[in-house]
Structure formats: C-alpha cells, structure tokens
Chain A
C-alpha cells in the first residue's frame, strides 16, 4: 500500500526526521492560503500522486487531452506563480514515466517551504529478500534516478544490512554517514535522522521508505525533501490508522472489490479472461495463452477454497472488462473440488447470461464428477484436458468468432 508524499512527511516528522514546513491542499484557494501561511520566499508546488517521476512528467487536460504544463513539481517565486501552477495541476491528468499512458488525475497538492541546499543525497530502506533483513542504501548522487546510478556507478551506492537480532547499531549509522562524506554536525544530524527513520520503518511495518533527495541544508542539518513510503499489506491487521491514509482513487476500483471478496485480480490489456486457482498457476495460464497466440485480459486467483458465490463474483469481474472476448477457466483441484467448481461455473454462466466462448480445464480432486457435470449441461462450455489444450482452444474460438 502506497501513501502520498505529504502523508509520508507527516510520519517522518512525528518520528523525529527533519522535514520542511508544508501544507496539503485540494484547491487553488487553499494553495494560496498555504503560501501566505508558509511565509517563504520560494515554495515548491508538488502534485501528489502514487507514482514517481512527477517533476519530469507532463500535465494534460482530462477531457480535451491538450497539454497544460510541463512538470508536475514546480518552484514558485511569487503568489501569482503559486496560483498558476496550482490551477495547471489540480484536476488535470499527470503522465509520468511510472504512470503509464493513462496517467493520473491530480486532486492533491503539497505546498512546501523552500530550503537552501548544500548537497543532495539518496537514502532508502527496504527489505532485502536475499539477506532476509532490512537493507539501508545511501548515495551521494541524490536527486538522480537511482537505477541509473546503480547501473553506471555502483561504487557510489553504499549499503548496510540490519541484523534483526542486534537492530541498527551506532557504528553502522556512522559508517554510512562517513561513506557519504559527512562529518561534524552534518554527520551527527544524519546519525539521528537515520536512527529515527529506521524506527519509523519498523514500527509502521513499511515495505519501502525512499528519500530522494535527502539534503544537507546550509545549517549542516539533514532534511527529507521527498518521501516515497509504502506499507506491507500483510501487516494491515495491526495498523488501523492505515485506513485514513489509503487513497482509494489511486487504486483500481475493480481490484479493490476483488480483494474484498477474497480474490486476487490484476487487470491487463488482452482479450482472454482467466479464472484460475493459485497465483503461480494463474501466471502460468496467462503465459501459455500468450505462447499460443492470445493475450490475457487479467490475472485472477480465486484462492484455495473458493465457493460457488466467489466463482460467480470472479466471472462478473472478468466480464466487466469490455475487451474480454473469451474466458479460460483453469482449476487444479486440491482442497477445492472440481465438482463444486463445475457447479459454480454453470451457475455463474446461467445467471450472468454469458455470451463469450468459455473453455474449462479441470484437474485434480473429483475431476471426473466435475467433467460429467459440465458435459451434461446444455451450455456452450468447451472442455480441455490440460492447460495447453485449453489455451489453444480459447484462442481458436476467439479467432473463429472474428
């Protein structure tokens, strides 16, 4: 789960990490009031969306598609500029390197006071899958795309792994600060900020905290100028406060509904809907559809214990996508019995009035009963014995229908 920069900064500030003064706004008037309140010669007017590359993004009119302004993060030197930038950002579509072509409509702004920057750094905390620990990465190359830095000058990225038994130790914080070339008051400020950030990472069950740039100001103080924070959704049960931080407009409506019914759904841009049990098999089903010349419309895992009702919900979610020209059901029954799935499929196709071709591949527990149930129905259901056959069949059926 991602949160906005302004929310991340509030978390950092309450954890004791220095941030600049700023105000979250949702209207041009609020942006102007924020400018007056901040009383700073220079302010940054920042689009708040859950994607990176905002500064280099472009804003477009949501209806006409006309270009409105280059850059989703602007430095304003006057009240008039704040007004212009806020007007150009709010309600418009921001397309960045990370949003995809559809971009995101910006409805939140962050107006932030300026800062005299001595140097920009990069800092990130994340879980290291290989070392099974929290990894802290820092670089002197702040403000840059860190993937490029890692690729071109890997020696400029410094890493420490936190031993979960020992926690983040003083020498590690000092070593990392010194690797960045810090000393004296600046090193002390870094030491303190990093300690606070690690505490925040752990106590909030973060999946990632990325500060790019982390800056040293002209008073030798370390300040977080940006904040990209995401949470580990598995820990949601112990963070009731996340409900207030969640911006549902940033998430696909249909993916939220799928999650509520215990389904895992990701929309793709192909034409064959997939209904599968198990995440690995669901991915493999998509891959095989592609291998035989089709394109998957979605990833959908109905989970290990889906009932008839869930199968029906899964069908209705798949059919909401107007691109879907056919559906492939692929179930390897373990705990889930094939006869139950077969009944679910029949119930769903009847009640939803399915008009696109449907191929069903069943294997595993009670497969014979499942197949018999499908065979005796009067519905136009095409059986398949294995995944490859299923994929070939649905691709052929779609082609035949054209």
Chain B
C-alpha cells in the first residue's frame, strides 16, 4: 500500500505541450509512471510520448479513466486548471487526485480553487508550488512531479514536506540508514494550498506499508503546530521532524510565498517546540534526520 497514489496509478499531464510539461512528462515516463494522456486546450488530437493529447480534462478523464493529473500550467491559468480538473474527476469518475506543481499562482485564485476542491470531498489537491507526490515501486513506480526519481526506493517511511529540495534531502537521509519510502508528498510552500500536514499524517497512520513518518516544515503560518497537536492525539507511528528557517529574519519572505514570519508568529522555534511537545523527534540539522529516524525506529522495535 501507499497513500493516495498507487504504483500503477493512471496519470494525466495538464500543460503537456509546454516546455515544462513535456520535459517532466518524459521524466515521469522514464521513471515508470503510467502516463495515459495529456491536456492542452486547442492542441488536442496529437500524440505526445505515445499518449493522446486532449482539449479538455473532462474528455481526458472520460476516455482514459485516469486516477490523477499533474498540472504544469503557467500561473495565470493554473487556478482554473485545478478547478477544471476537479470538475472533470467529479463528473466523469467521482474521484481523483490533482497535483499542481506551478509556482506563482495568485493567492486569491488559490482561495477560489481550494474552496472548489474542498466542496468535493472525493477530490484531493496536492500543492501548488510543490515537487509533487511519488510512490516508489519495486521497479519504477508512480512519480507525479518534478522530484529526481532515482534517489528514491520503495520502503516503509512516509515523507511529508513543504519544500522541494529539502524533501530530497530527507529522502537521501532515509536511504543513508537503509530505509526506503512508502510515499513522499510535497504539500508546497504557498500560503493557500490543498492537502495539508494533517491529511498526510492521517493517511500515513492508516497506511499499513508506512511504519514511520518524516515531517519537514518551514517558517510561516501555524500548520506545523496544528499538525503536531493532532499527531499527539492521533498518531501511533514514530514521527521525525525538521523545520527550516531558524535563522530567517522576521518580516522577510524567504523564497516561498508562505515562508514569512509576520507579527512575530510562525517562527521555526515555535514549531520545533510544538513538535517536541507532541513527542516528535527533532533534528536541528537535516543531515542528522537519518540518525534521528534510526533511533526512533530502534526504540519502537522496528530495527
């Protein structure tokens, strides 16, 4: 098992004819992802990477029975692309997973899109401004996003993170102690997003393949604090955590739109404290995540 995306999930790419979309669709296929089609309005009818391109999501989902879609559409159109995907999955299939990689979507567009998805409980949105989600398989697997596939291996650690490259760092840390991953989810660094930490923790808790969780947060907002409080009451599996931005100055946006300490709130220290109060084993240096995880696995009798 894995969470939300099975190894053989059927996947669409929105924006497949664009530079980013085509490049990453190719990488997804190379990894072993089951790509079943692409969508670019006005460019339907052709084949790319051996799969058909459709003019609309409703057409694509109806004809391919896709389980999920990955959005590489530019920011001005990405909010609507999410809504189109949610509508198509709801109409044609009753469920679906939408992964939005795009960075730079206007916040108020995301407010609309997130509300649209939230009204459809069987539709899940991951992102935006995220590396995506990957479920490594025995050979290949399902890679829905821009992460380097080759650093992953199938295993029993669930990873959830707000950041891209820091997720890769966490993956490398699990590998350094001989552990693979069940599923890795990048929830993204925007202030308004879809799936949050708590959704991921709940899914990993319920997933039999996952035995422990690595959670990577960063400054801004209080999603980490809420997740920690939730985990304290609901998670039985060991969790290892790190929060980026302990040295970030207040009031400055650190790359990600949501990574900002405002009014003294959302600091890394606050989040580390919440993690520790919830019994989450913290690494202050991401290069030590592997060691801390190993220790947690040992004390849980898993190694």
List chain A positions with a Cβ less than 8 A from chain B. Answer: 98, 127, 129-130, 132-134, 147, 163-165, 202, 205, 207, 232-235, 237-238, 264, 266, 268, 276-284, 286-291, 295-296, 299, 301, 304, 332-335, 363-365, 386-389
Contact = CB atoms under 8 A, between A and B. Distances in A.
B247 A279 contact: no
A129 B254 contact: no
Contact of B106 (A205, A284, A286, A291): A205
A264 B257 CA distance: 11
B162 A280 contact: yes
Interface centre among A164, A165, A290, A333 (most CB of B within 10 A): A164
Given A238-B76, A279-B259, A280-B161, 9 more contacts: A202-B108, A235-B106, A266-B252, A280-B218, A287-B247, A288-B286, A334-B147, A363-B172, A387-B285
A364 B255 contact: no
B287 A278 contact: no
B107 A232 contact: yes
B192 interface: yes
Contact of B191 (A127, A238, A333, A364): A127
Interface of B: 23, 75-76, 104-112, 114-115, 118-119, 131, 146-148, 150-151, 161-169, 172, 189, 191-192, 216, 218-223, 226, 242, 244-249, 251-259, 263-264, 268, 284-288
A178 B267 CA distance: 35
A237 B76 contact: yes
Given A129-B191, A279-B259, A286 B115 contact: no
**Those 5 A-B pairs whose CB atoms lie nearest each other, nearest first:** A280-B163, A279-B255, A278-B165, A280-B166, A235-B106
B244 A280 contact: yes
Contacts of B166: 278, 280-281, 284
Contact of A334 (B105, B107, B148): B148
Contacts of B245: 283, 286-287
B40 to A, nearest CB: 20
Contacts of B107: 127, 205, 207, 232, 234-235
B299 to A, nearest CB: 23
Contacts, number: 175
A163 B247 contact: no
Nearest to B190: A234
B192 A127 contact: yes
Given A205-B108, A284-B166, A387 B287 contact: yes
Contact of B165 (A205, A296, A332): A332
Nearest to A386: B287
Given A163-B115, A277-B165, A284-B169, A234 B106 contact: yes
A268 B249 contact: yes
B148 to A, nearest CB: 4
A287 B216 CA distance: 14
B146 A334 contact: yes
A334 B164 contact: yes
B286 A284 contact: yes
Given A280-B163, A280-B165, A301 B285 contact: no
Contacts of B259: 279-280, 283
Contact of B192 (A129, A299, A301): A129
Contacts of B131: 334
Contacts of B150: 365
B106 A232 contact: yes
B192 A132 contact: yes
Contacts of B221: 129-130
Contacts of A335: 23, 146, 148
A280 B172 contact: no
